[in-house]
């Protein structure tokens, strides 16, 4: 590999755009590849603009952006050493297949996504060319072509945002290098616990995303509502029980120890109160416009990742012989909205 990696970001949406803009500004060699023509054209002509909650987070940077139909032209140049796949989970396999021929001999792919997609990537490029990158509590949104907004405060030394890990669990030079690169965006580390970190993030997604999608509200509004706050805790606790049953070493979920979540739904009133306090406290570091990605998808009339988030919890629960009624209930609610059989509403989830 070259001294400075040639890096592709496949999917220049909210997260891919946010990360790639910082990396570009830091001098990394970044090529954005995206299917939205207007987004690509505006990035080319005006650069990529980020908006955040503090002055240094607000900037515009010139970027190299191509439409996915133009990828074939890159064969004339230097192959990519690293490709971040930052597409929706349901687009993982075709996106990985697309970038595979353009990787260098030692080139590899990193999942920068929700859900757990490393196995899908490895089915295309092999486990030796697969790495996972977890972005926690980052809350970014593609507002319009070439404009990404972050709706929560920087983690810095208070909250760890990025974890980078190998499927086999050892810390390697390449994951250390990626973690070092990501520190220009926010706090980052290499982890020996990729699968536990992944399941922890899955539990966060399971408690945040579908509630926003089903109610039509942002995160703060749902956390301040007694009913949806308790529902979020139930969703996360079920996910933790399933992960523990499969042997994952689960980290804190949205700042809450998994044991506390499980105790809360098993009747421990003190644990429930502690969980609720953390959710309410978390409303203080994000703005009221913050809406998880699944809520954004419903708002924009797009397909959600419900099958790859709560659907994965339900699938793994069945394998372990566990019941996950809250997750099954929220899956049903979101699917009804996707099919046009219901409209987003808090009342849609109050009975779950």
Pairwise CA distance, residues 46 & 140, whole Å: 20
Where do the DSSP E strands lie in 136-200? Answer: 140-144, 147-150, 162-165, 188-191
Q: What residues contact 35, with CB distance under 8 A and at least 6 apart?
A: 67, 68
C-alpha 240, offset from chain centre: 18
Pairwise CA distance, residues 262 & 259, whole Å: 5
Q: What is the pTM of this model?
A: 0.93
Question: What are the pLDDT tens digits along the chain (352 aa)?
Answer: 558 999 999 999 999 999 999 999 999 999 999 999 999 999 999 999 999 999 999 999 999 999 999 999 999 999 999 999 999 999 999 999 999 999 999 999 999 999 999 999 999 999 999 999 999 988 899 999 999 999 888 998 888 999 999 999 999 999 999 999 999 999 999 999 999 999 999 999 999 999 999 999 998 999 999 999 999 999 999 999 999 999 999 999 999 999 999 999 999 999 999 999 999 998 887 777 788 899 999 999 999 999 999 999 999 999 999 999 999 999 999 999 999 999 999 999 999 9
Contact in structure between 11 and 85 (CB atoms under 8 Å):
yes
Residues in the chain: 352
Domains, the chain, ranges and CATH?
Answer: 6-192 (3.40.50.720), 197-348 (1.10.1040.10)
- In the sheet that holds 140-144, the strands lie side by side as 59-61, 48-51, 147-150, 140-144
Contact in structure between 162 and 179 (CB atoms under 8 Å):
yes
Q: Is the dihedral of CA 262, 263, 266, 272 positive or negative?
A: negative
């Amino acid at each position: 590999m070259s001294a400075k990696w040639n890096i592709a970001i496949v999917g220049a949406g909210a997260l891919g755009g946010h990360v790639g803009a910082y990396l570009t500004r830091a001098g990394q060699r970044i090529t954005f590849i995206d299917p939205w023509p207007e987004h690509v054209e505006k990035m080319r002509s005006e650069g990529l603009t980020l908006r955040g909650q503090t002055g240094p987070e607000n900037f515009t940077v010139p970027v190299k952006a191509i439409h996915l139909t133009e990828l074939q032209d890159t064969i004339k140049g230097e192959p990519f050493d690293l490709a971040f796949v930052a597409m929706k989970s349901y687009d993982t396999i075709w996106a990985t297949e697309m970038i595979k021929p353009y990787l260098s001999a030692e080139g590899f792919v990193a999942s920068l996504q929700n859900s757990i997609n490393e196995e899908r990537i490895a089915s295309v490029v092999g486990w030796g060319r697969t790495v996972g990158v977890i972005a926690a509590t980052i809350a970014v949104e593609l507002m319009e072509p070439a404009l990404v907004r972050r709706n929560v405060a920087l983690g810095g030394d208070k909250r760890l945002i990025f974890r980078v890990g190998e499927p086999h669990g050892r810390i390697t030079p390449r994951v250390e290098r990626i973690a070092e690169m990501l520190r220009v965006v926010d706090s980052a580390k290499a982890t020996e616990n990729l699968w536990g970190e992944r399941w922890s993030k899955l539990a966060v997604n399971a408690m945040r995303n579908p509630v926003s999608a089903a109610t039509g509200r942002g995160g703060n509004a749902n956390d301040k509502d007694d009913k949806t706050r308790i529902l979020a805790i139930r969703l996360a606790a079920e996910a933790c029980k399933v992960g523990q049953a499969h042997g994952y070493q689960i980290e804190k979920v949205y700042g809450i120890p998994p044991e506390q979540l499980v105790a809360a739904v098993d009747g421990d009133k003190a644990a429930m109160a502690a969980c609720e306090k953390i959710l309410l406290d978390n409303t203080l570091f994000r703005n009221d416009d913050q809406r998880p990605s699944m809520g954004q998808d419903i708002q924009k009339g797009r397909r959600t990742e419900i099958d790859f988030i709560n659907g994965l919890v339900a699938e793994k629960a069945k394998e372990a012989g566990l019941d996950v009624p809250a997750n099954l209930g929220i899956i049903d609610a979101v699917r009804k909205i996707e099919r046009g059989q219901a409209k987003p509403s808090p009342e849609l989830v109050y009975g779950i």
